[in-house]
Amino acid sequence: MEIQPISFDIPGIMACQQNRYPMLFIDRVTECVPLKYAKGFKLFTYNEWYFHGYETASPKVWNVVQIEAMSQMFLMTFLSEEKFRGLVAMSNRFDKVQFFRKIIPGERLDLEATLESFGRGVARGKVKGEVNGVLTCSMECTIVIPEFFADFKQSLANNTASKVVSNITAGNVINFGIENVKECLLNKYPWLLLDGATEIQPGKFVKAIKNFTYNEHYFPAHFPGSPSVPGFIQIECCMQSFLLTFLSLDQYKRRETADRLLNNVHLRRKIVPGDTLEMHASLDSFSRGIARGRVESYVNGEQAISLEVTAVVVDELEKFRPKLKG
């Protein structure tokens, strides 16, 4: 017998997953077959809190917000199943995360998530997003339900229990505080997610820190009974530390950037209020406005999130685009 798709409005979505304002990034699930697929959309308005956290004349939807919107639509592929509704799910890994165009206020991101496998509390699949029928973002993801994957936290601890020595060589140990960071990045509250750098060698590497206190605006919503740092916030912390590797160069300070590709994004442990995330960002190459590198991060010496990244300096890249002949 053919299964009839179901739909969810905001109350229905909140009955399935625990994300709440200001961390809920899907507005409607228009079509869903539990344990198979989910389709829906997210509308963007200038009143969104993150539009005001980056100093530019052209506001855009942050790429990590797109990641979170895709993740939440993917959650609906399995949390829409009656027996799983309302359970906590945790991001574990993202691959081939790509961004193809800028999203601006007034646009609608149509999302389609496909569940490729689901067993022992581990869900794997793909998500893509389109604006006006044009592919805008896509990724592969792995998300777990810890309640059904009882060994999740323990397995992570076993894999990362020993202290990890950074492969970044010692550089300039300095007092590079929040005012110095603001001289380099366009980010501002509530979207500036670095507290400073303990080591920095512009054009090569940065060792940055972010302290997490319960006063952060997202903890009450993520989640009321067990506060933790959302995965997309962890990714953004690492992205900002990576940007600092080249935006700390005098000629690139406060230049506008855009993420293009994220790979091998691993979220290895839960980060909670009272933790300090230490990020080690390396710039592997930087040419014609294209920066490639990686970030490894630690909490109390244990591996936390890590990723590989390609980002661009927007106006620098434009200089090298082929010019169309009139």
Catalytic residues, which ones?
222
Looking only at the bridges linking them, the beta strands covering 276-287 and 290-299 are: antiparallel
Taking residue 271's Cβ as centre, other Cβ atoms within 10 Å add up to 24
**What's the helix, strand, coil split of the chain in %, to 5?**
25, 40, 40
Contact 176, 200 (CB under 8 A): yes
Taking residue 45's Cβ as centre, other Cβ atoms within 10 Å add up to 9
The token duo for 102 is: 């800028």
Backbone angles phi, psi at 69, to 5 degrees: -60, -45
DSSP 67-87: HHHHHHHHHHHHHTSGGGTT-
CA distances, 200 to each of 144, 230, 236 (Å)? 35, 27, 19
CA distances, 318 to each of 183, 261, 288, 290 (Å)? 23, 18, 9, 11
**How far apart (Å, rounded) are the C-alpha atoms in residues 294 and 314?**
20
Distance spanning both ends of the chain, measured CA to CA: 59
**How far apart (Å, rounded) are the C-alpha atoms in residues 122 and 28?**
24
Burial class (CB in 10 A: 0-12, 13-18, 19+), 14: middle
The token duo for 161 is: 């229990």
**How far apart (Å, rounded) are the C-alpha atoms in residues 53 and 84?**
35
